[in-house]
Protein backbone atom coordinates (compact mmCIF):
# COMPACT_ATOMS: atom_id res chain seq x y z
CA UNK A 1 0.00 0.00 0.00
CA UNK A 2 0.88 3.69 0.04
CA UNK A 3 3.45 4.85 2.63
CA UNK A 4 1.80 5.87 5.90
CA UNK A 5 4.42 8.44 6.89
CA UNK A 6 7.41 10.40 5.61
CA UNK A 7 9.59 7.81 7.35
CA UNK A 8 8.10 5.05 5.19
CA UNK A 9 8.13 7.20 2.06
CA UNK A 10 11.83 7.97 2.32
CA UNK A 11 12.55 4.46 3.57
CA UNK A 12 11.02 2.80 0.51
CA UNK A 13 12.90 5.21 -1.73
CA UNK A 14 16.11 4.14 0.01
CA UNK A 15 15.21 0.48 -0.53
CA UNK A 16 14.50 1.12 -4.21
CA UNK A 17 17.82 2.97 -4.52
CA UNK A 18 19.60 0.03 -2.89
CA UNK A 19 17.88 -2.44 -5.21
CA UNK A 20 18.81 -0.47 -8.32
CA UNK A 21 22.44 -0.10 -7.24
CA UNK A 22 22.80 -3.78 -6.39
CA UNK A 23 21.32 -4.66 -9.80
CA UNK A 24 23.76 -2.34 -11.56
CA UNK A 25 21.19 0.29 -12.49
CA UNK A 26 21.23 4.06 -12.07
CA UNK A 27 18.64 5.66 -9.83
CA UNK A 28 15.93 6.69 -10.58
CA UNK A 29 16.06 6.10 -14.35
CA UNK A 30 17.15 2.46 -14.16
CA UNK A 31 19.71 2.63 -16.98
CA UNK A 32 22.77 0.38 -16.79
CA UNK A 33 25.69 1.70 -14.74
CA UNK A 34 28.91 2.33 -16.62
CA UNK A 35 31.64 1.30 -16.50
CA UNK A 36 30.72 -2.23 -15.46
CA UNK A 37 33.38 -2.23 -12.72
CA UNK A 38 31.46 0.56 -11.00
CA UNK A 39 28.80 -1.96 -9.94
CA UNK A 40 31.29 -3.84 -7.76
CA UNK A 41 32.81 -0.73 -6.16
CA UNK A 42 29.35 0.75 -5.53
CA UNK A 43 28.22 -2.45 -3.86
CA UNK A 44 31.27 -2.34 -1.61
CA UNK A 45 30.60 1.29 -0.68
CA UNK A 46 27.00 0.49 0.20
CA UNK A 47 27.95 -2.53 2.31
CA UNK A 48 30.56 -0.43 4.12
CA UNK A 49 27.85 2.12 4.92
CA UNK A 50 25.23 -0.45 5.93
CA UNK A 51 27.62 -2.31 8.22
CA UNK A 52 28.74 0.82 10.07
CA UNK A 53 28.20 0.12 13.76
CA UNK A 54 27.71 3.68 15.02
CA UNK A 55 25.59 6.43 13.49
CA UNK A 56 27.17 9.78 12.74
CA UNK A 57 26.08 12.14 15.53
CA UNK A 58 23.39 14.71 14.66
CA UNK A 59 24.78 18.03 13.49
CA UNK A 60 24.60 21.05 15.80
CA UNK A 61 22.01 23.70 14.90
CA UNK A 62 21.49 27.36 15.82
CA UNK A 63 19.05 26.30 18.54
CA UNK A 64 21.29 23.47 19.70
CA UNK A 65 24.96 24.46 19.30
CA UNK A 66 26.22 21.28 20.97
CA UNK A 67 25.81 17.90 19.31
CA UNK A 68 22.57 16.35 20.60
CA UNK A 69 22.57 12.84 22.04
CA UNK A 70 21.48 10.14 19.60
CA UNK A 71 18.17 8.49 20.51
CA UNK A 72 16.00 5.65 19.23
CA UNK A 73 17.42 3.60 16.39
CA UNK A 74 20.36 5.99 15.96
CA UNK A 75 21.58 5.05 19.45
CA UNK A 76 21.70 1.30 18.65
CA UNK A 77 24.43 -0.71 16.90
CA UNK A 78 24.14 -0.87 13.10
CA UNK A 79 21.54 1.91 12.88
CA UNK A 80 21.46 2.08 9.08
CA UNK A 81 20.74 -1.63 8.73
CA UNK A 82 18.06 -1.36 11.43
CA UNK A 83 16.20 1.46 9.70
CA UNK A 84 15.87 -0.46 6.44
CA UNK A 85 14.87 -3.63 8.30
CA UNK A 86 12.18 -1.64 10.13
CA UNK A 87 10.81 -0.23 6.89
CA UNK A 88 10.34 -3.61 5.22
CA UNK A 89 12.53 -6.52 6.28
CA UNK A 90 11.51 -8.78 3.40
CA UNK A 91 12.15 -6.09 0.78
CA UNK A 92 15.53 -5.35 2.36
CA UNK A 93 16.54 -9.02 2.49
CA UNK A 94 15.48 -9.37 -1.15
CA UNK A 95 17.94 -6.56 -1.94
CA UNK A 96 20.70 -8.35 -0.03
CA UNK A 97 19.95 -11.57 -1.93
CA UNK A 98 20.65 -9.80 -5.24
CA UNK A 99 24.30 -9.53 -4.21
CA UNK A 100 24.59 -12.72 -2.19
CA UNK A 101 23.27 -14.76 -5.13
CA UNK A 102 25.38 -13.06 -7.78
CA UNK A 103 28.13 -15.44 -8.99
CA UNK A 104 30.18 -12.41 -10.09
CA UNK A 105 30.25 -10.92 -6.57
CA UNK A 106 33.57 -11.30 -4.75
CA UNK A 107 33.42 -11.95 -1.01
CA UNK A 108 36.21 -12.14 1.53
CA UNK A 109 37.32 -15.69 2.26
CA UNK A 110 35.34 -17.43 5.00
CA UNK A 111 38.55 -18.64 6.62
CA UNK A 112 39.46 -15.06 7.49
CA UNK A 113 36.19 -13.85 8.92
CA UNK A 114 33.89 -16.82 9.39
CA UNK A 115 32.99 -18.01 12.86
CA UNK A 116 30.20 -20.04 14.37
CA UNK A 117 27.74 -17.60 15.90
CA UNK A 118 26.83 -18.32 19.50
CA UNK A 119 23.14 -17.60 19.98
CA UNK A 120 22.19 -14.00 19.14
CA UNK A 121 24.49 -11.92 21.34
CA UNK A 122 25.86 -8.90 19.38
CA UNK A 123 29.03 -8.89 21.53
CA UNK A 124 29.94 -12.30 20.12
CA UNK A 125 30.49 -10.88 16.64
CA UNK A 126 33.92 -11.38 15.18
CA UNK A 127 36.52 -8.90 16.45
CA UNK A 128 37.68 -6.82 13.54
CA UNK A 129 41.26 -5.68 14.18
CA UNK A 130 42.99 -3.88 11.32
CA UNK A 131 39.65 -3.19 9.69
CA UNK A 132 37.23 -0.34 9.30
CA UNK A 133 33.90 -0.25 11.20
CA UNK A 134 32.11 -2.26 8.54
CA UNK A 135 34.40 -5.26 9.01
CA UNK A 136 36.18 -4.87 5.68
CA UNK A 137 39.93 -5.28 5.85
CA UNK A 138 41.70 -2.04 4.98
CA UNK A 139 43.71 -3.88 2.30
CA UNK A 140 40.45 -5.00 0.68
CA UNK A 141 38.82 -1.58 0.43
CA UNK A 142 40.10 -0.95 -3.08
CA UNK A 143 39.68 -4.38 -4.66
CA UNK A 144 35.89 -4.59 -4.74
CA UNK A 145 35.60 -7.42 -2.21
CA UNK A 146 32.58 -7.62 0.05
CA UNK A 147 32.33 -9.00 3.60
CA UNK A 148 31.82 -12.74 3.39
CA UNK A 149 28.29 -14.06 3.61
CA UNK A 150 28.87 -15.49 7.07
CA UNK A 151 29.77 -12.06 8.44
CA UNK A 152 26.69 -10.51 6.82
CA UNK A 153 24.35 -13.18 8.19
CA UNK A 154 25.89 -12.97 11.67
CA UNK A 155 25.39 -9.21 11.73
CA UNK A 156 21.79 -9.48 10.57
CA UNK A 157 21.20 -12.18 13.18
CA UNK A 158 22.63 -10.00 15.95
CA UNK A 159 20.11 -7.30 15.01
CA UNK A 160 16.96 -9.17 14.05
CA UNK A 161 17.03 -12.02 16.55
CA UNK A 162 17.87 -9.74 19.49
CA UNK A 163 15.49 -6.84 18.86
CA UNK A 164 12.64 -8.46 20.78
CA UNK A 165 14.50 -8.08 24.06
CA UNK A 166 13.49 -5.44 26.60
CA UNK A 167 17.06 -4.15 26.62
CA UNK A 168 16.70 -3.01 23.02
CA UNK A 169 13.14 -1.66 23.21
CA UNK A 170 13.94 0.28 26.41
CA UNK A 171 15.68 2.90 24.27
CA UNK A 172 12.25 4.05 23.04
CA UNK A 173 10.50 6.58 25.27
CA UNK A 174 6.88 6.07 24.15
CA UNK A 175 4.87 2.88 24.61
CA UNK A 176 3.29 3.21 21.14
CA UNK A 177 6.75 3.32 19.58
CA UNK A 178 7.77 0.23 21.53
CA UNK A 179 4.64 -1.63 20.43
CA UNK A 180 5.18 -0.75 16.77
CA UNK A 181 8.83 -1.70 17.05
CA UNK A 182 7.91 -5.09 18.54
CA UNK A 183 5.45 -5.83 15.71
CA UNK A 184 7.97 -4.88 13.06
CA UNK A 185 10.60 -7.00 14.82
CA UNK A 186 8.35 -10.07 14.67
CA UNK A 187 7.84 -9.54 10.92
CA UNK A 188 11.57 -9.06 10.47
CA UNK A 189 12.30 -12.28 12.34
CA UNK A 190 9.94 -14.28 10.09
CA UNK A 191 11.46 -12.73 6.95
CA UNK A 192 14.98 -13.55 8.18
CA UNK A 193 14.08 -17.15 9.00
CA UNK A 194 12.65 -17.48 5.46
CA UNK A 195 15.81 -15.89 4.02
CA UNK A 196 18.37 -18.22 5.63
CA UNK A 197 17.53 -21.78 4.44
CA UNK A 198 18.83 -21.25 0.90
CA UNK A 199 22.28 -20.23 2.16
CA UNK A 200 22.40 -23.02 4.73
CA UNK A 201 21.58 -25.53 2.00
CA UNK A 202 24.32 -24.10 -0.23
CA UNK A 203 26.78 -24.37 2.66
CA UNK A 204 27.96 -20.76 2.43
CA UNK A 205 26.87 -19.89 5.98
CA UNK A 206 26.46 -21.61 9.32
CA UNK A 207 24.09 -20.78 12.16
CA UNK A 208 24.01 -21.47 15.89
CA UNK A 209 21.98 -24.37 17.24
CA UNK A 210 19.32 -22.06 18.62
CA UNK A 211 18.95 -20.15 15.35
CA UNK A 212 18.83 -23.37 13.35
CA UNK A 213 16.05 -24.57 15.64
CA UNK A 214 14.11 -21.38 14.93
CA UNK A 215 14.54 -21.96 11.18
CA UNK A 216 13.21 -25.52 11.47
CA UNK A 217 10.21 -24.32 13.47
CA UNK A 218 9.47 -21.65 10.88
CA UNK A 219 9.74 -24.07 7.96
CA UNK A 220 7.53 -26.65 9.68
CA UNK A 221 4.86 -24.05 10.39
CA UNK A 222 4.78 -22.67 6.84
CA UNK A 223 2.41 -24.09 4.29
CA UNK A 224 4.18 -25.25 1.15
CA UNK A 225 7.40 -26.37 2.87
CA UNK A 226 8.19 -29.90 1.75
CA UNK A 227 9.81 -32.58 3.90
CA UNK A 228 12.75 -32.78 1.48
CA UNK A 229 13.42 -29.04 1.82
CA UNK A 230 13.51 -29.29 5.61
CA UNK A 231 15.66 -32.45 5.67
CA UNK A 232 18.12 -30.94 3.17
CA UNK A 233 19.23 -28.40 5.76
How confident is the model over 178-210, as pLDDT tens digits?
666 667 788 899 999 999 999 999 999 999 999
Q: Which pLDDT band, with edges at 50, 70 and 90, does 56 fall under? A: confident
Phi and psi at residue 202, in whole multiples of 5°?
Answer: -75, -15
Helices (H) and strands (E) in the chain, counts: 10, 0
User: Given this model, what pLDDT does residue 174 score?
Assistant: 58
State whether residue 211 is helix, strand or coil.
Answer: helix
Judge whether residue 115 has pLDDT over 90.
no
- The answer to whether the CB of 100 falls within 8 A of the CB of 149 is yes
Contacts of 196 (CB under 8 A, 6+ apart): 153, 205, 207, 211, 215
Instruction: Output b/e per residue, 155-167; b: 16+ Cβ within 10 A.
Output: bbbbbbbbbeeee
Q: Which pLDDT band, with edges at 50, 70 and 90, does 232 fall under? A: low
Amino acid sequence: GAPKSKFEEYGYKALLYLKYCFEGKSFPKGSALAPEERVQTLRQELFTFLLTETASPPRPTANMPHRPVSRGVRSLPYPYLRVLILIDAKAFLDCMAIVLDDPAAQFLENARESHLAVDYAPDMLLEREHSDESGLEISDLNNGKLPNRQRIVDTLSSIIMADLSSEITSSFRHSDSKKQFMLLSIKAKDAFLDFLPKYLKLGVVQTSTSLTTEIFKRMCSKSGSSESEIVSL
